[in-house]
Amino acid sequence: MLIKPDKYKNTTEIVNLNGVPVYLPTLAEAAIRGRLNMFLLGKSGFGKTQLVRDVMNYFGDRALFVLGRNDMDTRELFQQVNPEFLKALKEGKSLEGKTLKEVTDKVNYNLIAVDELPNCVPAVRAQLFNLFDGFIEINGKPYPIGNGYSIGLSTGNLGQEFTESSNELGRALKERMHLTLDVDFLRPQTIDFYDMLEDNLDPRVNFPDKSLEDRIEEIKKAYQKLKGRPVPFEKKVIGLYLVDGLDCLADDKRKSELKSSWHTKVEGHEAGSDVALIEGVSPRALKSIITLSQALDEITEEQGAKDLNYFESMMTAFKFCSAYSGVLNDALVRQTYDENPYKAMDAVIDTTREQFKAKEEYLRAGLEMARRGEKKKKISDNFKGRWKFMKDLLENLADRTLLEKRAHGKKD
Ligand SMILES: Nc1ncnc2c1ncn2[C@@H]1O[C@H](COP(=O)(O)OP(=O)(O)OP(=O)(O)O)[C@@H](O)[C@H]1O
Ligand SMILES: [Mg+2]
């Protein structure tokens, strides 16, 4: 592990992947390696800011800490990022002979930590989200920061006073935060609180005792290595099921075409199944899910795992990327799953596991068929309803293989 929180303690095992226990800090590390923005949600006093502080320690002076306040405007934010920006805003282009680009090039933050992000007014938040994504916008022009690696880490409680409707805020967060960890449902063990007391009784956020060397080069290297990690075909199929399979209703109708009223259109036996509980994830979310799953595989591999279970790491990633992303049917989460979106995700994951188990044999045969550039009705006709995407995929792949074979044949 690259990152081990110094003060924040949480030894609750979230899942066991490939024989390796995964804890909340493991998920945080996976997010950092995958360069995924992370939002920590949950009740006051449960260590969210503490975890952020602990993570910041690994970024040395390349971490910017911003406390979200509703009386902060973008000017003040610019002032915090780099005082020279204010001049730039006033003067337009040049600053004492330097161009704006020269100034922004020096803004070398790799981690933007925003405590209590929901308190920020929308204009400030928009700028913060840009920083999370690796650039700053001045006078309508984007300037890159952080030399190729920047990540956002933010916190917030649900009961916070919002400066706008929580809906609007929710939408903004869902778009820009790639995974959400709700510490209320990922509660530490009693022994963790016991250890916290052994450490000290200061109720403030603790600054780590030892000043660590910053690990930015290692983090960047881990990120580059992860980007080069081949994505197994199985993961792509699982991911496409999450995008296309979960988007299906009976009679080949699509939830996405029914817009926000999709859950009122689920009828008959589908009403009691995962069809009513979740809609398909977006292609953007799919990228985050696969990235997180790849990071989890890599971390468990480094801890000795040999046989990687792609399905399970994909499901863990799906759970933490999608529980708060707006794909779940909120009314059902409230009524049936004790307002716990992770519990609802577990139900979806159980069904997904059954679905893949039932199709296991056909999936193997289908892949073999596509590899040979063949289309056998006997095999592809097994993919119907929510699995129709697989039939289309296999046929397209078979066509491609055939074309490649022909092109090859001509050359030879
Ligand atoms: N799991 C934990 N491990 C170690 N310390 C903890 C843990 N949970 C809380 N603490 C301690 O409790 C205090 C409060 O934590 P912190 O300020 O991080 O809470 P918070 O979740 O950010 O609350 P708020 O939502 O009010 O900002 C700190 O001293 C912190 O070190
Ligand atoms: Mg806090």
Residues 140 and 209 in one domain: yes
Whether residue 266 is found in the same domain as residue 208 = no
pLDDT for 34 equals 98
Question: Three-state DSSP class for 371?
Answer: helix
* Among 224, 254, 274, residue at a domain's last position: 224
SS3 state at 81: helix
Ligand 2 centre to CA of 63 (Å) is: 17
* Shortest-distance Cα residue to atom 13 of ligand 1: 203
196, 224, 252 - which closes a domain: 224
Q: Which residues surround ligand 2, an ion (CB under 5 A)?
A: 49
Going by their DSSP bridges, the two strands 141-144 and 135-138 should be labelled as antiparallel
Could you tell me if the CB of 176 is within 6 A of ligand 1?
Answer: no
Whether 9 maps to a domain, the answer reads: no
Instruction: Kindly state if the Cβ of 67 falls inside 6 Å of ligand 1.
Output: no
Question: Are residue 150 and residue 280 in the same domain, yes or no?
Answer: no
Q: First CA to last CA across the chain, in angstroms? A: 49
Residue nearest to atom 28 of ligand 1 (CA): 205
Task: Please check whether residues 89 and 182 belong to one and the same domain.
Answer: yes
Cα angle for residues 171, 245, 253 (degrees, 5° grid): 85
Q: Which residues pair with 67 in a beta bridge?
A: 115
Residue 3 lies inside a defined structural domain of this protein: no
pLDDT band at 101 (very low <50, low <70, confident <90, very high): confident
Shared domain for 220 and 242, answered yes or no, is no
Q: Which residue has the higher pLDDT, 87 or 366?
A: 366
For residues 372 and 178, the model is more confident at: 178
Cα 336 to Cα 341: distance, rounded to the nearest angstrom: 10
| CA 363 to ligand 1 center in whole angstroms | 47
Which of 180, 199, 224 finishes a domain? 224
Minimum mean pLDDT range among 221-230, 267-276, 322-331, 384-393: 267-276
Per-residue pLDDT for 372 more than 80? yes
123 and 220: one domain?
A: yes
Residue 315: closest CA among 281, 339, 338, 284:
281
270 shares its domain with 290: yes
Whether the pLDDT of residue 409 is over 90: the answer is: no
What pLDDT, on the 0 to 100 scale, is given for residue 162? 47
pLDDT digits (tens, 9 = 90+) for 241-285: 999 999 999 878 899 998 888 888 888 888 889 999 999 999 999
Q: How far is the CA of 208 from the centre of ligand 2 (A)?
A: 16
Residue nearest to atom 26 of ligand 1 (CA): 44
- CB of 203 shorter than 6 A to ligand 1: yes
State whether 219 and 242 are in the same domain: no
Q: Is 230 in the pocket of ligand 1 (CB under 6 A)?
A: no
Task: Provide DSSP, 188-208.
Answer: PPHHHHHHHHHH----SPPPP
- Regarding whether 108 and 52 lie in a shared domain, the answer is yes
Q: What pLDDT digit, counting tens, does each position of 39-89 carry?
A: 999 999 999 999 999 999 999 889 999 999 999 998 899 888 887 777 766
Q: Which residues pair with 136 in a beta bridge?
A: 143
**Whole-angstrom Cα distance, residue 70 to residue 161?**
10
Give the mean pLDDT of 92-118. Answer: 80
User: Domain containing 52 — which CATH number?
Assistant: 3.40.50.300
Residue 7 located in a structural domain: no
CB distance 242 to 318 below 8 Å:
yes
46 CB less than 6 Å from ligand 1?
yes
User: Does residue 1 fall inside a structural domain?
Assistant: no
In a domain, 8, yes or no: no
- Is the CB of residue 180 below 6 angstroms from any atom belonging to ligand 1? no
pLDDT, tens digit, 9 for 90 and up, residues 128-174: 999 998 898 887 888 888 888 999 999 998 655 444 555 666 777 77
Say whether both 191 and 260 belong to one domain. Answer: no
Within a domain: residue 355?
yes
Quick check: is 2 in a domain? no
Tell me the pLDDT tens digit for each residue of 295-320: 999 999 999 999 999 999 999 999 99
Show the domain range for 192: 15-224
Specify whether 254 is located in the same domain as 387.
Answer: yes
C-alpha–C-alpha distance, residues 369 and 25, integer Å: 42
Condensed to tens digits (0 to 9), the pLDDT of residues 169-224 reads 677 777 789 999 999 999 999 999 999 999 999 999 998 776 667 789 999 999 99
Nearest ligand 1 atom to the CA of 10 is 1
CA–CA distances in Å: residue 258 to residues 168, 253, 348, 355:
21, 8, 21, 24
From 6, 44, 46, 117, the mutation candidate for ligand 1 (largest count of ligand atoms within 8 A of CB) is: 46
| pTM of the model as a whole | 0.94
User: Residues 256, 405: one domain?
Assistant: yes
Q: Minimum-distance ligand to the CA of 46? A: 1
H/E element, 226: helix 216-227
Ligand 1 centroid–CA 41 distance in Å is 12
Query: From ligand 2's centre to the CA of 56, what distance in Å?
Result: 14
Atom of ligand 1 nearest to the CA of 156: 25
Higher pLDDT, 26 or 102: 26
Overall domain count for the chain:
2
53 in contact with ligand 1, CB cutoff 6 A: no
**Nearest ligand, CA 45:** 1
Q: Is 50 in the pocket of ligand 1 (CB under 6 A)?
A: yes
pLDDT computed for residue 96 by the predictor: 64
Ligand 1 and 9: CB distance under 6 A: yes
Model pLDDT, residue 408? 84
User: Within a domain: residue 6?
Assistant: no
Going by CA atoms, what residue is nearest to atom 4 of ligand 1? 8
Give the model confidence (pLDDT) of 326-362 as tens digits: 999 999 999 999 999 999 999 999 999 999 999 999 9
Q: Residue 161 has what pLDDT?
A: 47
